[in-house]
Structure 1
Amino acid sequence: MKTTKSIIRDHCLWAFVGLATVAGAPMAASADVPESDRTIRLTLNDWTGQNLTTNLMGRVLAEMGYSVEYVQADYIAQFTGLASGDLHVAMEIWETTARDQLEEAVAAGDVVDLGETGMHAIEEWWYPSYVEELCPGLPDWEALRDCGDVFATPQTQPDGRYLGGAVTWGGYDEERIEALDLPFEVIHAGTDAALFAEIQAAYQRQTPIIAWVYTPHWAPIQFDGEWIEFPEYTEECYEDPSWGVNPDMAYDCGKPRGWIKKAAWPGLQEEWPAAYEAISNFTIDNETIGTMIGYVDLDGRPLDMVVDEWIAENEDVWSTWIPN
């Protein structure tokens, strides 16, 4: 298993790729805010939902009087920027993929945990319900041992193809396939958009597909399907090869499920205490964000427009994030 330091080293060459500044004068600010004239930098990762939550928070910070920048950053390598103070806030750290990195960074004093967002994370192998006729026994994972050919492509045959997320997302899918002796090969989608475009196309054609699907997202709302039921995740599954159905290998279980948290540069509270409290207070649910992702990814509406509309219609929600 790679350590956090090795993962960060692997990605640090391309961790930070550009800036976009929020324009427009703030609509509301207390006499004590902003406490500093420095700009707060929020990270943007490579999926629509994270861009939405980050822009929502950025808009509220702007309402409070802060100068805000959005900085494109690699999901794992952003921990380096948060530790150094080059980046200040990451709005979505998923327990399913980055719990170890967050806990290690917090323990080292490099990052501050700002608490849960209110969203519940699931990231797992998923298939459309019509596939069950072709692979009897689903959603039990053991059914996959007998029907890899159902999902085979010229690129993977005779093995089935599992359409994974971007390589930077992690997930241990290759290790899971080996540990559970599944006749599958992982083919990684290049981007979040490419992943769900292919899932949508397969669903429309009713062709077999098994892929990485997560929530919050529009796909579990729009499509009838199921997540594969692997042996339930435990810490021992990832850390102790003797645990589980394969006594010689780790990762012989499903992926963890759990919280999505906010994380920050340790100096955030001292530099911008009201912003620190507002970000800590941020909360939203899966259905709200999943619906908004659909507006962007399915309906083609500009992300800024979707954020603007939510802000205009939900002042009773976001105003509770702002400290009195």
Structure 2
Amino acid sequence: MKYSVIPSIALVMTWGVSSAIAEVESLDPIKITTHDWSGQIITTTIMGEVLKQAGYNIEYVQADYIAQFAGLKTGDLHVAMEIWETTGREAMDEAIETGNVVSLGESGMIAIEEWWYPSYMEEACPGLPNWEALKDCADVFSTAETAPLGRYLGGPVTWGGFDEERVEALELDFEVVHAGTDAALFAELESAYQRKAPIILWLYEPHWAPAKYEGKFIEFPSYSAACYQDATIGVNPSAAYDCGKPTGPIWKVAWAGLSQKWPGAAQAISNFNVSNTEMSAMISKVDLEGQSVEVVVEGWLSANKDRWVSWIK
């Protein structure tokens, strides 16, 4: 998932678009959350700027990925543009079950998040990408801080993912070490890759890294909801989480009151749709080319005007 947070987003664009929604139902700010990775900030900024073109008052609010559901339940926050099937589904389902949060559908992007290693590690750990190979070669992934255990470099703690539980359930001789930020995660990958140094870490799509670096995701036992919930299900009959992470859509969710207070905005957000390919290209421009989120979003809006105008009709 993820990169640098921008505390405020101020794009000034004049597209010559008259308010596509005849009457904006309320000028109270619609509070849309931003998190700590570039793609989510890009997604959120595209949607927010489109809603501004329709006349809505938009406020971007930095929030924790999982903890944001508390604010969405109470209506203190209104919209979250990226809830990943891989890491956010349980929190999303719990929030929706309260009746205070609703799904606004899929974003068009499909999430993959899993352990990943560079291809050059296959010589030191034969049998990869099968997860069972890690049982015999954890030590080749060790560092001074984890030896004799291998080191798995996880994402920031706020991303969730149950990696500690997975290590224990699958009886892997690994220590999970969390990167402090998305930027730190990929900086360490870049450094290791250039030196052909041992590394295994959290990687995800949509993102530029799986295209830039040659490597593979670990093939854990297939995910099932039962594997996460029932210790008797899976390869270890005594522990849950003895399987890989799920894959699936990246969802949009909202405070249940959104469709009553701002029905036009709720429909526009439901209409939002971008692909993995589009998002990976935009993330690359920000993370690799050093372009600002504002510039990248403005470029996308300029190139896709007919498309986003249809969202707000």
Contact 2:20 2:312 in 1 (8 A): no
What amino acid is the match of 1:231? P
Evaluate the alpha carbon distance shift between residue 31 and residue 253 of structure 1 in structure 2; reply closer, same or farther with a 3 A threshold: closer
Contact 1:26 1:62 in 2 (8 A): no
How many Å separate the matches in 1 of 2:11 and 2:52?
Answer: 9
How many Å separate the matches in 2 of 1:210 and 1:54?
Answer: 30
Offset, 1:145: 0.7
Give yes or no for the alignment of 1:232 onto 2:222.
yes
Cα deviation per residue 1:169-214 (whole Å; 9 max; x = unaligned)? 1111111111111111000000111111111221122212100001
Alignment of 1:249-268 (within 5 A): 249-268=239-258
Offset, 1:19: 6.1
Q: CA RMSD in A?
A: 1.6
Match of 1:204 in 2: 194
Offset, 1:26: 6.0
How many Å separate the matches in 1 of 2:139 and 2:226?
Answer: 31
Offset, 1:289: 0.5
Give yes or no for the alignment of 1:146 onto 2:146.
no
Query: For 2:28, which of 29, 34, 38 is the aligned residue?
Result: 38
Evaluate the alpha carbon distance shift between residue 25 and residue 230 of structure 1 in structure 2; reply closer, same or farther with a 3 A threshold: closer
TM-score normalised per structure 1: 0.91
Contact 1:22 1:69 in 2 (8 A): no
Match of 1:310 in 2: 300
Contact 1:26 1:64 in 2 (8 A): no
Match of 1:190 in 2: 180
Match of 1:218 in 2: 208
Give 5+ residue unaligned stretches, structure 1: 1-16
Alignment of 1:1-324 (within 5 A): 20=8, 22=10, 24=12, 27=15, 28=17, 29-30=19-20, 32-323=22-313
Give 5+ residue unaligned stretches, structure 2: none
Offset, 1:20: 2.9
Contact 2:21 2:54 in 1 (8 A): no
Contact 1:40 1:69 in 2 (8 A): yes
Offset, 1:24: 3.5
**Aligned-partner SS, 1:116:** strand
Cα deviation per residue 1:225-249 (whole Å; 9 max; x = unaligned)? 1000000001111111111111111
User: Between Structure 1 and Structure 2, how many residues are aligned?
Assistant: 307
Offset, 1:316: 2.7
How many Å separate the matches in 1 of 2:9 and 2:26?
Answer: 17
How many Å separate the matches in 2 of 1:254 and 1:18?
Answer: 32
Contact 1:22 1:68 in 2 (8 A): no
Higher relative CO (Cα under 8 Å, sequence separation at least 6) belongs to 2
Offset, 1:317: 2.4
Contact 1:238 1:251 in 2 (8 A): yes
How many Å separate the matches in 1 of 2:184 and 2:276?
Answer: 22
What amino acid is the match of 1:86? D
Cα deviation per residue 1:62-94 (whole Å; 9 max; x = unaligned)? 111111111000011111111111111100011
